[in-house]
Structure formats: structure tokens, C-alpha cells
Amino acid sequence: MRAISDFSITVDNEYIDFFGPPNPSVSATLRGKIQLVLTKPLTIKNLSLKLTGKSAVASVYYYFKVVKREDAVLAENRELPEGTTELAWQFKLPGDLPPSFKINVGSCDYQLSALLICDKTLFGSNKTRRYKDIHISRSLISSLDLAQSLPPMVYKGKREGIIEYKFFVPKVICTDETETHLSLQIKTLQDVGRVKKVVVTLEQNERFLNPWGAAARAPEQKQAASDSSSNSDASGTGIEPGGSNRHNQSFMNTETTPGETEAYANYSDPANLDATVSITLPLNKVKLHPRIKTTSLEVTHHIMARVVFVHEQEQKDLWVHFPIPVSMLPFAPPGIGDIPSVSTIEYDLPTYDTTMEGTELPSYTGAEPPGG
């Protein structure tokens, strides 16, 4: 359409930050303008804007689910004058939207699309489209300094009659961190319970949830120490459940290890069987993703620790594991009053009232919040 010199979507802020757990009663406003520059008057039939959020899964076929769709008609059956016309628009975004992401097993993307329909022309199409990507983040913490200054969670456990221990685990890990710190306090009840070392890993599980309701149970794919997210592009069309597609679905469950280290116990006083193990866990083996949950994808994290005893023949290794929140940082630093106070970071954190005892099974007797 030769009358159109420029047709574009402008956004006041294409980066939207949400803080805290998903909450549909909390909303953010996305606003901007549609700009048309015409070399002569133009009669349009319809000018509309659509916001679409799509959660996609890269599998044996390409599955996607629309997580958000909003439509607005900005102009209809009217003549626009020569020159520049700007039409304002805005959408309300509910606070339970999943964040934008791209991981090994899928992605979630948001996009604005504008459609301009004019009177039919003798040559060419009477439809013109423009697109604009929108990015959404969800953060549990407002800054890296704040994340590192939070008091740790304390997990208590024991091997009956052998040792009692406390693991001090970070309250939250940020994807921007290059390392995180833990510690283990050991109360040895008899000499056979002397600890030699502790092997600690941070495990990241990317899981495809069956979009038709059943839990996805897939063979785990151990990934080597490299990030393959750059190869996770998928193409094709969305396929709804039905027929052989449903039964041929290959569910994916990819486990990676962003961090792994070991630290040795130091019994400085031979007469004292108690010890403290300080652990620095590097986070540089594979790309660390934040905690993610959509209807079809989930990313979760666990700290796994293996306690190795000096008398290995008499005491089998003791395994303990703890879920841990991982958060991205916001796109923009929040202003005062924009996010909850530090003490409200209690959401999305695990607490345990039960115990799983055993010499080989992961075990703990409870968790204490900071200051507990």
C-alpha cells in the first residue's frame, strides 16, 4: 500500500517485571502507541492489535499452548489523514503469567501483532502486519546483594547414634551468581561417625508436563557439562492431542548439574569430634535457569549432598537433598514500595514437618527458617 510510509508498534516499556509468586489479583499495564505515517489520506477497514503469549515444547512434534491472548480494535471504517497518526493502546497483564524463557525442552514467548486492513487495491495485498516482542520476568529477589545477605535456611538431620548435623543452605540462588555458599555443622556421637568429606551438587531438572493431565514420566537424559539451549529452537505447527500423536508423544525430563564441588571436614581438636565444613559451590558448569512453572513445562532445583565417612567400610555414605528456589533478577531495579519487604520472601520456600530416616535414602528431620 503506497500511501503508507511507516507503520510501527511502540511500547513504553517492553520489559515487564513481576515480583513474588504468581498472583492473578496483581497486574501490570502494558501500554504504547500504533504509529502510521501516510503520504496521502487512506481509508482503513480495520486496525487491530493482539497480544499473544505462547508456551511451546520441543518434542517429537512441536506442541504449543496459548497462555495469554488479548485483542483490541483501534480504528474501524474511517479515513486517516495525510501525515502522522498515533493511536494509543494498553493491555492489563495478570500477575500469574509465566515469565519469558527459552530452555532445552521448550520456551515461553510474548508478542504484539498489529494488523491493518485497507480497501482492496488493484495490486498487492490490502493487509499489513507488524510485530513486537514483549519480555516478562518473575523475580523472588530485587538485587544480587540482597540475595547474598539473606540468612540461610537450616536443615537438621541425624543418623541415629552416629551423628547429628545441620546444613545451612542459601535461602535463594540468583541466576547471575557465579558461586554460592553452604556449610555443614557436625556433632559426632561416636568415633565411627567421623566425616571425611562432603560432595555437593546443584541439580536442575527441566521437565515436560503432559499437557493432557497425566504426569510425564520420562527417562532422564543426563546432560554433559555444556549448555545446549542455543540449539533448542523448534519449528512446525501446534498439534492438539488425539489419534496416534498422543500415544507417540516422547516426554522429556532433562537433568543437568550447574554446580558441583567437594569439601573436607577439619577436626582441629582430636579430643573434639565436632566439625564444621565450609562449602563454596561454583555455578559455572551449565546455564542456570530460574524456577519455572507453566501448564506444560517445569524447572526445579535441588541441592544434593553426599556425606562420606572416614570409616567408609563401617558407615555407608549419607545422602541429603533440599529443594532450593532459583530466581532471575528483575529487568530494572524496583523502586521503593514496588516489591514486598525482604521478610516476605517466605513464599515458594520449602518447610518440612516430616522425616525420612535411613542410611542410604535422602534424610533430614526438619527445616528451620532464618532465625529458627
Q: Are residues 228 and 118 part of one domain?
A: no
Q: How many domains does the chain have?
A: 2
Q: What is the mean pLDDT of residues 180-209?
A: 90
DSSP 8-state assignment for residue 172:
-
Q: What is the pLDDT of residues 219-259, one digit of tens each?
A: 333 333 222 222 222 222 222 333 333 333 445 678 889 99
DSSP 8-state assignment for residue 346:
G
H or E element at residue 246? helix 243-248
Rounded to whole angstroms, the Cα distance separating 56 from 235 reads: 10
Name the domain boundary from 81, 108, 139. 139
H or E element at residue 243? helix 243-248
Q: Are residues 87 and 183 part of one domain?
A: no
Q: Are residues 361 and 231 part of one domain?
A: yes
Q: Are residues 104 and 172 part of one domain?
A: no
Residues 113 and 34 sit within 8 Å (Cβ to Cβ): no
One-letter amino acid for residue 132 of the chain: K
pTM of the model: 0.72
The pLDDT, as a whole number, for residue 296 is: 79
Q: Are residues 279 and 130 part of one domain?
A: no
Q: Are residues 178 and 49 part of one domain?
A: no
Count CB-CB contacts under 10 A for residue 348.
15
Query: Residues 149, 153, 157, CA angle at the centre, nearest 5°?
Result: 150
Q: What is the pLDDT of residues 73-110, one digit of tens each?
A: 888 888 889 999 999 999 999 988 989 998 888 888 99
The pLDDT, as a whole number, for residue 251 is: 52
CATH number of 115's domain: 2.60.40.640
Residue spans of beta strands (DSSP E) within 81-194: 83-95, 101-103, 106-118, 127-139, 153-159, 163-169, 173-174, 179-188
The cell numbers describing 316, all together, are: 555407608
The dihedral over CA atoms of 191, 195, 196, 200, expressed in degrees to the nearest 10, equals: 170
Q: Are residues 27 and 64 part of one domain?
A: yes
What percent of the chain stands above pLDDT 70? 73
Please state the length of the chain: 372
Q: Are residues 212 and 103 part of one domain?
A: no
The cell numbers describing 29, all together, are: 499495564
Rounded to whole angstroms, the Cα distance separating 363 from 59 reads: 35
Q: Are residues 130 and 37 part of one domain?
A: yes
Q: Are residues 244 and 306 part of one domain?
A: yes
By three-state DSSP, how is residue 283 classified?
coil
Nearest to 277 by CA among 200, 365, 189: 200
One-letter amino acid for residue 65 of the chain: K
Domain membership of residue 304 as a residue range: 144-368
Q: Are residues 164 and 69 part of one domain?
A: no
By three-state DSSP, how is residue 366 classified?
strand
**What does the mean pLDDT of the chain come to?**
76
Residue 366 confidence (pLDDT) above 50: no
The cell numbers describing 332, all together, are: 530494572
- Which residues make beta-bridge pairs with 33? 10, 88
Residue 199 confidence (pLDDT) above 90: yes
Q: Are residues 22 and 69 part of one domain?
A: yes
Name the domain boundary from 139, 157, 174. 139
Q: What is the mean pLDDT of residues 34-61?
A: 86
Name the domain boundary from 101, 121, 139. 139
